Chains A and B, each alone.
Chain A
């Protein structure tokens, strides 16, 4: 992997992006005035932000601040929640994904997601990866599918560990392996964006370190959005960080800047551990 070559460009890209949405260098996702309601209660208040391509954006904030809810807007997983309503525009390639004529099924094949708890299907390792390509018809025949499975597992850094037991159940792997399997499953459908909802919160530090390494590698190809409770993790893996509090986007900026020189008092209080 030629990370060393890609890295400066990506960093450059994220640094040049303005905080507000001006769209001069065409961000991967552009959110405008997002409001989310659960019934009468408003969970997200008028959030506007952009997500650059080939970079990791971390969403941090105390529990219940709406960062997961906001993340789920990006692949319309909130659709599956009863009486959840999303307002505002989320532009991907200039198209508002909240439009009625956008098929959430197609959207989710472009925006993969990894969950807090590893949730491999109770099927074989192979079938876990092959399921997405199969239902989307991405593979022409068995060999093609085998290739996709191998490539996805290699990218997720799991191939060497499971190549001899692809027929074994995915649920039999360790927690960290399961989570990497879920990441492989997400990248098997060739998404452009990968959403991660606290992907390491159920893992031990060693498995966490492996996932973080993996995220760092995946950054070269995808736009990654990660929700995390760990400030250290946000500092380690992300290039940009957004701080949410009580459903508001308090501060968005370069990760270094957020952690070393926050502009907002609330951000400073949170990252120094005064609340949260």
Chain B
């Protein structure tokens, strides 16, 4: 008889039970895996949606203006004082505007079109150039290339998310005839067949009685609006450029699927933008201004520098207050305090404090620091103190866990060679717990970095156009800036908000990376 493996499972019931146990094991593994996949999936969706949005804001369109720095305009009083040049935004702006009007003479016809062409660039966009010239006064009188960001709506249009349009290549135009009312009759055999078909599809997409859809026809730098379109001919209302450009050309037709009155940009602005692009004066550049500019009411100029500096100052205050207090409190409670009712009470309340909603700390901060102690509103000092209140329970809890994890044999060893309790704690226990303490402290700080609600209550939500120079200057922080931007109505803010979220996430990742780095470093020591 060869009983290879003796098994206690002899009855059918026992075998069945074993089978059930194995199935339960397998099921549990499956639940765990699905939990991980759900979490990873949620993360992937978040990263993808924010990343995709942010990517469109990572670059923007910059228009080049070749202007001559006329001394009479740039330094009208002749002195050429750097201060005055830097402040002479109007002068530089008028140079840019004149350049645009020279490029598009038809825009000078009436006030409306002058305003529309002025919208291309905001006044403040010339400020960096004005400052640059102020630093180099010898440039006055010479010709320079001024680069200014394109208006945010036109920027969005060029990126393809501003205005819905359908681009169609039209057939060859054979004749262009001027009409008495200033329009042109363009015709060509079947030239507009694709446009007619496109219009039919576009109307079907929208409601049947859809608003009137404008059709723009572009050839080279010239663009006109088409009306009365039939298969072979149409009436062209020239918006910019020369009618001759259309002769013997195969122009591009754009069916704009929303009425001009519903859009933030007019047909003429589209026409001019296309012309500038055709002239090669529009470049798509990385939006470094997101990190180098301060907040602005114009999305194309807005950046997060003041908020980033505000966040760093706030974090500095938080770290300086919360880390020493939290770590010392944890060391005392864990290593020195007797276990009794009082310490138990303190312990419970520290845990409660960590669970208090952050907005409550904001209220406390507003009442205590601003109303009672009279500290300045909107200042990183107050923000940092409020966040410190919020952070230090977290630091205490994490530090105590780290101290608890130090084996008691280390304490016994130190005490046995005659170290005092303080020497035992600071020579042996705290260094061993340091990676854990730092991890807790940095993770607490990372939480504070992403905090919005308490800062709203102490006035850090104000619009701040200047970079704060110290902890008492008016300031805002990254998450509050994201909150403010997401409340703005203009569509261009949407990708910009996502881009700022990516910047904030980058800072958080940096802090978490620091945690990993410190851990590795300390653990490698022994």
B-contacting residues of A (Cβ < 8 Å)? 75, 77, 80, 82, 105-106, 108-109, 112-115, 117, 119-123, 131-132, 135-136, 169, 171, 182, 185-186, 188-189
Check A135–B423 contact: CB distance below 8 A. Answer: yes
Q: Which residues of A contact B145 (CB under 8 A)?
A: none
Minimal beta-carbon separation of A47 from chain B (angstroms): 22
> Known contacts being A119-B412, A121-B413, is A135 close to B526, with CB within 8 Å?
no
> Known contacts being A105-B419, A105-B420, A108-B418, is A122 close to B526, with CB within 8 Å?
yes
| Whole-angstrom CA separation of A182 from B410 in the bound complex | 12
| Whole-angstrom CA separation of A77 from B525 in the bound complex | 30
| Whole-angstrom CA separation of A186 from B417 in the bound complex | 6
Interface string of B406-417 (1 = CB under 8 A from A): 010111111111
Known A77-B412, A80-B411, A135-B427; further 4 A-B contacts with Cβ < 8 A? A80-B415, A109-B418, A121-B410, A135-B423
| Whole-angstrom CA separation of A102 from B415 in the bound complex | 15
Check A132–B418 contact: CB distance below 8 A. Answer: yes
B186 at the binding interface (Cβ < 8 Å): no
Q: Which residues of A contact B411 (CB under 8 A)?
A: 80
Q: Which residues of B contact A119 (CB under 8 A)?
A: 407, 409-410, 412-413
Contact among A120, A135, A189 with B413 in the assembled complex (CB-CB below 8 Å): A120
In the complex, the chain B residue whose C-beta lies closest to that of A116 is B409
Contact among B338, B407, B412, B427 with A131 in the assembled complex (CB-CB below 8 Å): B427
Minimal beta-carbon separation of A244 from chain B (angstroms): 21
B428 at the binding interface (Cβ < 8 Å): yes
* Residues of B191-217 whose CB lies within 8 A of A: none
| Whole-angstrom CA separation of A67 from B526 in the bound complex | 35
| Whole-angstrom CA separation of A188 from B411 in the bound complex | 18
In the complex, the chain B residue whose C-beta lies closest to that of A110 is B418
In the complex, the chain A residue whose C-beta lies closest to that of B423 is A135
Q: Which residues of B contact A188 (CB under 8 A)?
A: 417
> Known contacts being A82-B338, A135-B423, is A108 close to B415, with CB within 8 Å?
yes
Minimal beta-carbon separation of A217 from chain B (angstroms): 21
B339 at the binding interface (Cβ < 8 Å): yes
Q: Which residues of A contact B416 (CB under 8 A)?
A: 75, 77, 108, 112-115, 186
Check A121–B428 contact: CB distance below 8 A. Answer: yes
B432 at the binding interface (Cβ < 8 Å): yes
Check B418–A182 contact: CB distance below 8 A. Answer: no
| Whole-angstrom CA separation of A117 from B510 in the bound complex | 41
In the complex, the chain A residue whose C-beta lies closest to that of B338 is A82
Check B410–A189 contact: CB distance below 8 A. Answer: no
Q: Which residues of B contact A106 (CB under 8 A)?
A: 418
In the complex, the chain B residue whose C-beta lies closest to that of A188 is B417
Minimal beta-carbon separation of B434 from chain A (angstroms): 12
> Known contacts being A132-B418, A169-B526, is A122 close to B432, with CB within 8 Å?
yes
> Known contacts being A121-B428, A122-B432, A131-B427, is A115 close to B413, with CB within 8 Å?
yes
Minimal beta-carbon separation of B417 from chain A (angstroms): 4
Q: Which residues of A contact B420 (CB under 8 A)?
A: 105, 135
A-contacting residues of B (Cβ < 8 Å)? 338-339, 407, 409-420, 423, 427-428, 432, 525-526
| Whole-angstrom CA separation of A95 from B436 in the bound complex | 43
Minimal beta-carbon separation of A38 from chain B (angstroms): 14
Check A182–B413 contact: CB distance below 8 A. Answer: yes
Q: Which residues of A contact B415 (CB under 8 A)?
A: 77, 80, 108
Q: Which residues of B contact A77 (CB under 8 A)?
A: 412, 415-416
In the complex, the chain B residue whose C-beta lies closest to that of A170 is B526
For B338, B410, B413, B428, the residue with the greatest tally of chain A CB atoms inside 10 Å of its CB is B413
Q: Which residues of A contact B526 (CB under 8 A)?
A: 122-123, 169, 171
| Whole-angstrom CA separation of A185 from B409 in the bound complex | 14
| Whole-angstrom CA separation of A205 from B416 in the bound complex | 26
Check A136–B413 contact: CB distance below 8 A. Answer: no
Minimal beta-carbon separation of A178 from chain B (angstroms): 11
| Whole-angstrom CA separation of A109 from B416 in the bound complex | 8
| Whole-angstrom CA separation of A189 from B417 in the bound complex | 7
Minimal beta-carbon separation of B321 from chain A (angstroms): 31
> Known contacts being A82-B339, A121-B428, A169-B526, is A131 close to B409, with CB within 8 Å?
no
Check A131–B417 contact: CB distance below 8 A. Answer: yes
A and B contact pairs by CB, cutoff 8 A, 18 listed? A105-B419, A106-B418, A108-B416, A112-B417, A113-B412, A115-B416, A119-B412, A119-B413, A120-B413, A131-B427, A132-B418, A135-B420, A135-B427, A182-B413, A186-B416, A186-B417, A188-B417, A189-B417
In the complex, the chain A residue whose C-beta lies closest to that of B420 is A105
| Whole-angstrom CA separation of A108 from B339 in the bound complex | 24
In the complex, the chain B residue whose C-beta lies closest to that of A123 is B526
Sorted nearest first, the 8 A-B pairs with minimum C-beta distance are: A109-B418, A119-B409, A132-B417, A113-B416, A108-B418, A119-B413, A122-B526, A169-B526
Contact among A109, A121, A136 with B414 in the assembled complex (CB-CB below 8 Å): A121
Q: Which residues of A contact B427 (CB under 8 A)?
A: 131, 135
> Known contacts being A82-B338, A135-B423, is A115 close to B409, with CB within 8 Å?
yes
In the complex, the chain B residue whose C-beta lies closest to that of A103 is B420
| Whole-angstrom CA separation of A20 from B4 in the bound complex | 65
Minimal beta-carbon separation of B183 from chain A (angstroms): 89
> Known contacts being A122-B526, A131-B427, A169-B526, is A185 close to B410, with CB within 8 Å?
no
Check A117–B417 contact: CB distance below 8 A. Answer: no
| Whole-angstrom CA separation of A245 from B526 in the bound complex | 42
Check B418–A136 contact: CB distance below 8 A. Answer: yes
Minimal beta-carbon separation of A126 from chain B (angstroms): 14
Check A105–B428 contact: CB distance below 8 A. Answer: no
In the complex, the chain A residue whose C-beta lies closest to that of B340 is A82
Check B418–A135 contact: CB distance below 8 A. Answer: yes
| Whole-angstrom CA separation of A184 from B57 in the bound complex | 66
Check B412–A115 contact: CB distance below 8 A. Answer: yes
Minimal beta-carbon separation of B427 from chain A (angstroms): 7
Minimal beta-carbon separation of B421 from chain A (angstroms): 8
